Amino acid sequence: MKISFLDNHTFVVICLILSVIRVVLEVIKFDFSKLPITRRLPKNFDNKFHKWGLYFSVGYLILFSPGFLFS
């Protein structure tokens, strides 16, 4: 039987914490355009890049937090 990295509770907790931090930064209106990685992106792509990051963070919270809380 293969052990998946998704079965590792430490990995899931770290990803959940990072997702919460990402959502909190969006709520407090953090300016993501000042980050170094954003400066290297094309101007028309930087807003989409960070918006997709928010979508992935919220999706991760929705999918994995109930399973972690009920286990």
Tokens of 36: 């170094």
The Cα–Cα gap between 45 and 13 comes to 30
State the pLDDT at residue 3. Answer: 65
From the list 26, 24, 17, 4, the residue with the least C-alpha distance to 65 is: 17
For 9-61, how does the pLDDT look when each residue is reduced to its tens digit (9 = 90+)? Answer: 888 889 999 999 999 999 999 988 888 888 888 877 877 888 899 999 999 99
